[in-house]
Chain A
Amino acid sequence: DVVMTQTPVSLSVAIGQPASISCKSSQSLVGTSGKTYLNWLLQRPGQSPKRLIYLVSKLDSGIPDRFSGSGSETDFTLKISRVEADDLGVYYCLQGTHFPQTFGGGTKLELK
C-alpha cells in the first residue's frame, strides 16, 4: 500500500496567519492517465470529512481561495493563506492513484 505521511501532526496558528501542511507519499502519485489523484479533506470536530481539494490543486465548489494545494510526484502541500476560526479541525491527504486508496495520518489545526 502507498504510505501517506503528513507533517506536522498538529499545528497551532493565530487567526489571520498562514498555515502549511505537508503530505509525502511512498511512491509517485502520477497515474497512467497522467493525472495525480491527490485530495485534501477537512474533518471539523464532530463532523464527517469534507473534501477541499482534488487533483492536487483544484478547489471543490464553495471552498474559499484561501486554500491552495500544490506539489507533484511524491511531495504535496496544503496552504491556508489566512486562517479563520472555521478552519480548525483535522486535515487529511488522500491518494486515489494506487489501489487501495490510502489516507495520511492527519494534521490537527488548532487556533493559537
Chain B
Amino acid sequence: EVKLVESGGGLVQPGRSLKLSCAASGFSFNDYWMGWVRQAPGKGLEWIGEINQDSSTINYTPSLKDKFTISRDNAQNTLYLQMSKLGSEDTAIYYCARARYLDYWGQGVMVTVSS
C-alpha cells in the first residue's frame, strides 16, 4: 500500500523558515517524481513543485520559486520542502504527492504563519 506521511508543520512567525518532511512507503520511492501541493484554508489547490528521481530536475511554480526548495533523500525514502520568508499567505495545508500525475497524496500537514 502506498503511504505518504507529512510532518514538520505547526505555528511559525512571519519571516521565519520551516522544513516539512514526507515519509514514503509501499512503493519504490527512487523510481518516481515527487511533488508538493498546498491548500489555503477554505480554498482550492495550488501546485508548488516537483522533483525527479535523482534530484537533477526540480520544477517550481514561478510565483513560489524564490520561497520554496524541494529536495529528497532516496536512502531515507523522504521528500522535503524547505520554506523561507514565510508570510500569512503561506498559511495552508501542505500535501506531498507522488508525481508527476499526483496519483497518491499524503494526509497533509498544517502550517500556520502568525505572530
The interface of chain A, by Cβ under 8 A from chain B, is 37, 39, 41, 47-51, 54, 60, 92, 94, 96, 99-106
Contacts and interface: CB of A to CB of B under 8 A. Distances in A.
B105 A92 contact: no
A39 B37 CA distance: 15
Q: How large is the interface on B (under 10, 10 to 19, 20 to 34, 35 or more residues)?
A: 20 to 34
B47 A49 contact: no
Interface of B: 37, 44-47, 49, 59-62, 95, 100-108
Contacts of B103: 51, 54, 60
Can you list the 10 inter-chain pairs with the closest CB atoms, starting with the nearest? A100-B61, A103-B45, A101-B47, A48-B105, A51-B103, A106-B44, A48-B108, A105-B44, A48-B107, A49-B105
Contact of A92 (B45, B60, B95): B45
A101 B100 CA distance: 10
Contact of B100 (A51, A60, A92, A96): A96
A105 B42 CA distance: 11
Contacts of A47: 107
Contact of A49 (B59, B60, B62, B95): B95
Given A48-B106, A49-B95, A49-B105, A103 B44 contact: yes
Nearest to A90: B44
20 contacts: A39-B102, A47-B107, A48-B105, A49-B37, A49-B45, A49-B95, A49-B105, A51-B102, A54-B103, A92-B45, A94-B45, A96-B100, A96-B101, A99-B59, A100-B47, A100-B60, A101-B47, A101-B102, A104-B44, A105-B44
